[in-house]
Structure 1
């Protein structure tokens, strides 16, 4: 199975399951940037329920801007805010401290381009899972992709209808099970068991 996907910011569980189960991964990097997608956002389980963490970007005057050209807006201290939110959400989870040092560089190092950040996130999460997932990048935009299983819709949470299997979440007793959050939610709660979960997740 050859999977075609967009690189995203700490991808959703369904997105990661698709990559783990694929025979090969190709990242679409010639697309036009679309707002309100997981390219620059993730969803976590906060003490108050679901919480959106959004990376601010520099808006272009061009009508269509390629995602690989999108720059991160550094006037806001978004990295500090995101990490504080992750601490509030997961400090009491079983594996937050185990992976904390691995993910910390994302919230300390300043990247210029969103795509570079997302590819670094991808490598760090793979490291946390204890796996290597080689990938290729597209050289042109694929309107149709007959040679691939097209998982690009997983980038848009509203179009992703995946129903994830239950696992224990930190604030589940308050708000119940929240479906298909960021891979970090699974990682902090399940540790290395997250990999078996992803392999068995139905897409």
Structure 2
């Protein structure tokens, strides 16, 4: 069984999913420390004129707390901003009307915990991709040489081309003449629907 330790990102990038393409189990670690300037609370979508980063506001100054203690700042009404952005970006996408209803209630439920919010969204993404991968919450003391540890590898500070997980495979997008790679999984799901999994398999770099 191939087991991979990963970070729990917000609506992860295509690189993130390409990196776990052949995993039978992924392990998430709720006691890992929250990292600023990471994908834990941000994702990227394609609007008509630009790529937009959606960021979830976090309470407090965010000292080095474990992920399960990170609380979302719901006083900023960010959910409406994110939902409006997603609708503007993908409202006319071929599979938007089929897949958006899975995501909308999670946003509207006033999530307090970043960990719980990201976990629910990941569960939906894996369901829509029809991936049977097992998702477990791990303990760092249980890490072994047989577990591939990808944590801290995928970060916005470095381009995906510097890592060995993802090679862009173009698919039809709503906006722009040039293909925009490595957006949120939402872009692929809304544009390609049931074919999203096949695109990801083709996008995974072969060792």
> Pairwise mapping of residues 1-203 of structure 1 onto structure 2 (< 5 A)?
1-60=2-61, 63-140=63-140, 146-159=145-158, 160-161=160-161, 162-173=166-177, 176-203=178-205
**RMSD across aligned C-alpha pairs, in angstroms?**
1.9
Alpha-carbon distance between aligned partners in 1 of 2:9 and 2:16, rounded to the nearest angstrom: 9
Query: What 5-or-longer segments of structure 1 have no aligned partner?
Result: none
Deviating above 6 A after TM superposition, structure 1's stretches of 4 or more consecutive aligned residues are: none
Number of aligned residue pairs: 199
SS in 1 for 2:20: helix
Instruction: Please give the secondary structure, in 2, of the residue aligned with 1:128.
Output: helix
Normalised to the residue count of structure 1, the TM-score between the two structures is: 0.90
CA distance in 1, matches of 2:144, 2:9: 19
TM-score in terms of structure 2 length: 0.88
- Is the deviation greater in 193-202 or in 81-90? 193-202
Unmatched tracts of structure 2, length 5 or more: none
Rounded Cα–Cα distance in structure 1 between residues aligned with 2:81 and 2:89? 12
